[in-house]
Amino acid sequence: MENKRDFLKKLSLLTVGGVVGSSIVPAIASEKSASSFSAAKKSIGLQIYSLGKELVENVPAGMKKIAEIGYSTIELAGYGNRKMGIYEVADYKKIVDDAGLKITSSHVNPPVRKYSADNVAQIDDFWKKTVEDHVKLGVKFLVQPGMPSIESQEDAKLVCEVFNKAGEVAKSAGIKWGYHNHHMEFKRVVKESEKTTTENQNPFQQKGDVIYDLLLNGTDPGLVFFEMDVYWTVMGQNDPLEYFEKYPTRFPVLHIKDRSVLGKSGMMNFENIFNLAYKNGLSEYYVEIEKVKTNMTQFEGVKDCFTYLNNASFVK
């Protein structure tokens, strides 16, 4: 049985050669050419979770700084109690508009993690109110980033039903509803009747079906899309390209993420990821970065991520 280290070595996405082989636009030699390149910058999105308190401390100034870096679109995080932090949604949208940015997506979790017959109506009501607010924000996409509790195939079936209902609510308002993964969606579950006390304690090596596949197969493609976080897919010991090939129409939106600043770890072959995603009809993508690993601010980290993608020949 291979361990995680062996898996990472073998996986096509994680070879250093894949990173070295990526084509990078040569450095700009003069201020004039640098200005010309900036003017022709690509449309690159940012998940604002990446900035944490550095953005929250002064949202208007922070949004202007995001735009100055070169980002065109943002994906929100922080919606709750029908507000964006301390702001009413209409006021927040004005701040973003004034900065020259466009809100195209938002991450929102319902108030409960364990779904049951007793709370599905509560969840449905939550999405109705959330959709109303996000119509005001002008988003194209509304995404649930948190995994519900799924310990069996029956749990997964109920989650799919709830997801489909949320998708219906959003679709009626002209918004597409989706789900964002982390790594635990790649563990396996069985039916309740098949559970035993002698199961392999490694959730990724148990018998049963992969939760992510259960969600993909159990939801209506016309109601639910999937925003793949390519980094967390790899951390779940899976290859994003295999999912792109198996479900070519289900991933119109991506989270582009690395261990820290994009392209610095040697783990992710973003060229292969973008090439196949574009072939499948990629609509939008957002940079996301957790706490930077080096002595830099979060704003410096997202700036370096923008530069990496803006200079990459494989990014349109």
What fold characterizes domain 4-18+41-145+156-183+220-311? TIM Barrel (3.20.20)
Q: How confident is the model at residue 27 (pLDDT cuts 50, 70, 90)?
A: very low
pLDDT band at 7 (very low <50, low <70, confident <90, very high): very low
Confidence band of 294 (pLDDT split at 50, 70, 90): confident
Residue 26's pLDDT is what?
A: 34
Q: What is the pLDDT of residue 264?
A: 93
Phi-psi group of 254: left, alpha or beta (phi > 0 → left; psi -120 to 50 → alpha; rest → beta):
beta
pLDDT of residue 14: 45
Inter-residue contact 60 to 86 (CB < 8 Å): no
Place of tokens 């799919």: 160
pLDDT-derived band of residue 34, with 50, 70 and 90 as boundaries? very low
Per-residue tokens: 191: 């039916």
pLDDT tens digit sequence for 117-134: 999 999 999 999 999 999
Residue 20 pLDDT level (bands cut at 50, 70, 90): very low
The DSSP code for 291 is S
Percent of the chain with pLDDT over 90: 80
- Residue 13 is predicted with a pLDDT of 45
Give me the phi and psi of 110, to 5 degrees please: -70, 165
Average pLDDT over residues 171-185: 98
Of the chain, the end-to-end C-alpha distance in Å amounts to 40
Is the model's pLDDT at 4 over the cut of 90?
Answer: no
The predicted pLDDT at position 205 comes to 60
Mean pLDDT of 285-309: 94
- The mean-pLDDT minimum among 107-111, 199-203, 226-230 falls in 199-203
The two three-digit tokens of residue 149, written as one number: 């509790």
Give mean pLDDT, residues 11-38. 36
Mean residue pLDDT across the chain: 88
CB 305 within 8 A of CB 257: no
Read off the pLDDT of each residue in 19-41 and give the average, rounded to a whole number. 38
